[in-house]
Structure 1
Amino acid sequence: MTAAAIAGLLALAVATPASSNTTPGPDARERVHEYEVTGPRTAAQRTAVAATGASVDAVRKDSIVITADAGQAERIRRMGYPLRVLPGPPDRSDGMKPAPFDFPPADAKYHNYKEAMAEIDADVAAYPSLMSKQVIGKSYEGRDIIAVKITGSAKTAGGAGTADAAKAPAKAAAKPEVLFTAHQHAREHLTVEMALYLLKEFGSQYGKDDRVTKMVDSRVIWVVPDLNPDGGEYDIASGSYRSWRKNRQPNNGSSSRGTDLNRNWDYKWGCCGGSSGSTGSETYRGSGPESAPEVKVVADFVRTRVVGGKQQIKAAIDFHTYSELVLWPFGWTYDDTAAGMTQDERDAFAKVGTSMARSNGYTPEQSSDLYITDGTIDDWLWGNQKIFAYTFEMYPSSAGAGGFYPPDEVIDRETARNRDAVLQLLENADCMYRSIGKEQQYCT
């Protein structure tokens, strides 16, 4: 490629602010492809593939699906693994001209950022006694990152109802809190729909469904529906899919934009070969922990939930796609237990995780059973804040069934599929050790 052509591509890669009506051009990192890599069967082999800077998108029995550039693909071939290029993102234009900053016409049921914010505002307005919204910070391009608080009027263990919270904050904090986050990776749009489903379900079923009502009354539920609004908007900015993963933050001295938000958390950051130091990598971990503004915003929010020296958030789910998995820490080590996790803690993670997986049909396992990752949200939530944190890798199970871009016809089915699992986590949140019969030892 000529120097002039490269310069042209870099000029097109300039970030577009949230208020702009222009469609940004292609980014240099869009010269990546998805590949099926035949041969890696063990976690160590998959970790070696990921160490090239490719992202491991799905794990199968005798192969993996990766996103990689040409150089990374060639390094993997030199490791002796055959690669097969997979089809790119689907064309769902239905023969219609795509609209900028929106989903293709055939996927119109997905919510872009503006539509999602409007949906959230409508829910908060419809259920003002249950829900409130707060802006907890801004993305790199200035979009609001919000958290929706959901809780009912039942009294807390400390004896204070919601109306008493301002007068007795210490007592109000006695309600166990649970956090649901979504959309760390830009192309994983189904996770935003999952968050919107939760808001709708908690609001519409309160007072109608006993299980929902009890959990809303006895818990403080936080939903952060969109950690990566800039990346999500960029992924659909041309009116078709770009398979973008990272945020849209520039990297000093590099033409490659973006940090992998789920490698940027401040626990075991960059420790163990589970992320990349190369700005062009799909798993670039950033210049330092919490260097991505979106990660720092959410981490700061979680730290505000420490009341009286105790973290009030007891459990969490971070939603991703795809592969249909329920994962728990640690990702940075293959060991089931390590510094920061006892056998009882691991057993509680596994017991609740396995039960949730039975309800939604996902596969339960420790994150590192797939391959090593470091600087992830689950490892940080547990290792730094002692929050029982899970990752749900949602539908589909394979690239062939839609990969990162399942059709919008599946939204209702696949979000509702996680209803029982979410309720199970809420029900266990007050004492996760109850699941292993050790409530008296740990929760009295």
Structure 2
Amino acid sequence: MAGIKQASVARFKRKEAIIGIVGLGYVGLPLMLRYNAIGFKVLGIDIDTSKVDALNSGKSYIEHISGEKIAQACESGFEATTDFKRVAECDALILCVPTPLNKYREPDMSFVVNTTDAIKPFLRAGQIVSLESTTYPGTTEEELLPRIQEGGLRAGEDIFLVYSPEREDPGNPNFETRTIPKVIGGHTEACLEVGVALYEHAIDRIVSVSSTKAAEMTKLLENIHRAVNIGLVNEMKVVADRMGIDIFEVVDAAATKPFGFTAYYPGPGLGGHCIPIDPFYLTWKAREYGLHTRFIELSGEVNKAMPEYVLGKLMDGLNQSAKALKGSRVLVLGIAYKKNVDDMRESPSVEIMELIEAKGGVVAYSDPHVPVFPKMREHHFDLVSEELTETNIASFDAVVLATDHDKFDYDLICQHSKLLVDTRGKYRNPQVHIIKA
């Protein structure tokens, strides 16, 4: 069976392999563009017909990925489809599907399981399956392995299985798919060897680990590290504020230490698909071993409380002007979860909007990256982005800076806001109408 492995490796090394990417979102689409750019034939597979139609028409639905790049990819051989039968054409199947939590903060593995079930009738000898979705340690072995072997193929001999977590950072100009090191764990040594061959052309640096479980845990540690440290600095923010200390000044000063300190800055809560969600995959799995992940759960409580903290600061500010939140017009600046992107997933800004509305406030938003409030599974506002003019800013009783996009005119906002609640430390000089939150 070594011949199957060697033939697979050779196909990747010669760039003769067809790369199948299942799930064409924030992770799958940049990966497609990278493989296409270096000369591989790429087939994109997604259950969303609108996405497939857009891509085949040379259009993009993600702001930081231009339609021009999609059109160029189509011209050089990229094709998108909803037909899972075409899995059989692919030499590699890279799964980039969502892994959300359900309302009980338990992993919702339905996308991973359903995708694996959809591809398994069309698997054949010589293929490699790589899962990139963030998940709990053991997922690849427990969910993917038995499914890909159902038809008689043996992992490590006939077909190859790896876990290689995504590390995309949308909106960060300092990194791209190629320059972010790629962690890979294989089900067997042979699986790992084929996995390295799959990714080595596309990624500058490959980091091999001993197992799929180790790779799965690596991704969780990366995100838990951030969640815990953000929780710590958010708690420090509350303490510092009560003491009359600017936490942003403190973090800046501490960051001058050349060793032993990494700067994390507070905010209105956690957003995005990773940091608010991924730590709880480990929390859930740890229960199976009779363990409690206390740091994770505590940081989750702190971070989850931040939108309420912002609401309290807003109400305090209005109260100083003898105004109630009920009936006040409040403009939320930035509803994407992080600066300079259009990604709304788990955005704390949306929770702040809901809290304002629940208290009787009249809420509006402005976000240069999100012109119309999108349809979301759990949130709905029939709103469009407000234009930031002198007159419009001044018409609101309060402005809440929730996401600090570079496109905002911060001087304009400051000069014409009646009350400005700053959750991002954008305004460092104390002013009567600015409240730090």
TM-score, normalized by length of structure 2?
A: 0.25
Q: Between Structure 1 and Structure 2, whose CA radius of gyration is higher?
A: 2
Bigger fraction of residues in helix = 2
Larger RCO: 1 or 2 (CA < 8 Å, sep 6+) = 1
TM-score, normalized by length of structure 1?
A: 0.25
Bigger fraction of residues in strand = 1
